[in-house]
Amino acid sequence: MAFRGAPITIGMLFSQTGVTAVLESSQRKAAMLAVSQINASGGLLERELVLLDSDPASNPARFKTEAERLLDEGAEALFGCYMSSTRKAVLPVVEARGSLLFYPTLYEGFEYMPSCIYSGAAPNQNARMLADYLTEMYGTCYFFVGSNYVFPYESNRIMRDLLSNRGATVTDEVYISLDPSEDEIAHVIKMVRSAGPVVVFSTLVGDGAVRFYKAYDEAGFDRTAQPIASLTFGEPEIQALGSGSATGHIKAAPYFSIIDTPANRAFVAAYREAFGPDCAICAEAEAAYFQVKLFAEAVRRSGKTDRMSIIRTLPTFSLEAPQGSVRVDGSTHHTHLWSRVAVVGENGAFQIMRESARPVAPDPYLVALENSLDDLVADANLGCFF
């Protein structure tokens, strides 16, 4: 296809190596798919959309230097980051350069940066529905385990409040290394066993999460009564773990690959055609995909690629993403997303148990965290879908 004018260049910040590569690799693929589709349909403003790649290797310091390099090489905007520590390393660079970071990962909330578009879930879009589901289905005793960085501490603080408001208690809260030793994992498994009939809420990420779930399976816990619940452990981690070891575990997220809509069927088919029929697709990858489409649509509508034009244009339209309709909120730069809770079935695939009837407005500062969701929630067990 013939393009006119100089390319429009964007930069990717997704780790291909390191402790979170198992997840970030899927995000990278999804962003690449979006770019290829945009170019196949004529590009942007009759110009080719070009990717500058990187491998920040799950290291916050390297995320910062790679962000600087990509901007130096002409990237109009950056797409990526997974851990909050990496986002926080990149944002000062983006802010100083007058650029934008599109951040496709759920996070702990309580942040606004003019230079960031938050495409992943805020706590009111995932943790609140998960707390409702857990206390209704599994009782009132919980054990928290997390990786030792920003997101787990803040996410656990929020989840503790949500569970407490529902009459539940947290028996213990423990943090281990991002790349934990086998002894660390074994110690936590011993603590869970000593705690009695508890449900585990995990904010472990990456390879450490996979190894913890494996140890949990080997320890023989009854996952029908004591599952691990998470906001982060999705399809790529299940694939690395093995489906038999994941049955019964729970995740809350805006997206699961089993959503049966034309937009999602097309996305899943295109992703697997591009990267292989066995490639796992998760919520974080879907966000990495649709945020590139959001950027592209804002460029088409504004006719410009500068930060202020993109920021002004993003809140003026909705996009039909694989999860459903999404839209950027102009006052917070967070995205209206769907809320869903799913359980891993015997075949290793998630089964959606509960979902919102429409997109949930972002509330990153939790101003109205405990407002009623009654008119938003559909329960898959009751056959009430949106």
Residue pLDDT tens, the chain, 386 long = 678 889 999 999 999 999 999 899 999 999 999 999 999 999 999 999 999 999 999 999 999 999 999 999 999 999 999 999 999 999 999 999 999 999 999 999 999 999 999 999 999 999 999 999 999 999 999 999 999 999 999 999 999 999 999 999 999 999 999 999 999 999 999 999 999 999 999 999 999 999 999 999 999 999 999 999 999 999 999 999 998 999 999 999 999 999 999 999 999 999 999 999 999 999 999 999 999 999 999 999 999 999 999 999 999 999 999 999 999 999 999 999 999 999 999 988 999 999 999 999 999 998 875 654 444 554 444 333 22
Closest CA to 99 of 72, 60, 119: 72
Distance CA 257, CA 238 (A): 13
According to the model, what pLDDT value does residue 243 have? 85
Are the folds of 8-121+260-336 and 124-258+339-382 the same? Answer: yes
According to the model, what pLDDT value does residue 1 have? 60
Distance CA 208, CA 217 (A): 14
Element (H, E) at 49: strand 49-52
Element (H, E) at 87: helix 84-97
Whats the size of the chain, residue-wise?
A: 386
CB neighbours of 41 closer than 8 A, spacing ≥ 6?
Answer: none
**Burial bucket for residue 382 (CB in 10 Å: 0-12, 13-18, 19+):** exposed
Distance CA 131, CA 164 (A): 10
Residue type, 270: A
According to the model, what pLDDT value does residue 371 have? 58
Domain 124-258+339-382: CATH architecture, name and number where available: 3-Layer(aba) Sandwich (3.40)
According to the model, what pLDDT value does residue 376 have? 53
Class of domain 8-121+260-336: alpha beta
HEC sequence for 71-123: HHCCCCCEEECCCHHHHHHHHHHHHHHCCCEEECCCCCCCCCCCCEEECCCCH
Judged by DSSP in three states, 67 sits in helix
Distance CA 4, CA 246 (A): 50
- Strand residue runs (E) in 151-212: 169-176, 199-203
According to the model, what pLDDT value does residue 2 have? 75
Distance CA 83, CA 66 (A): 15
Distance CA 67, CA 61 (A): 10
Q: Are 203 and 231 in contact (CB under 8 A)?
A: yes
Map out the domains of the chain as residue ranges. Answer: 8-121+260-336, 124-258+339-382
Q: Are 118 and 100 in contact (CB under 8 A)?
A: no
Distance CA 75, CA 72 (A): 7
Distance CA 365, CA 272 (A): 37
pTM: 0.92
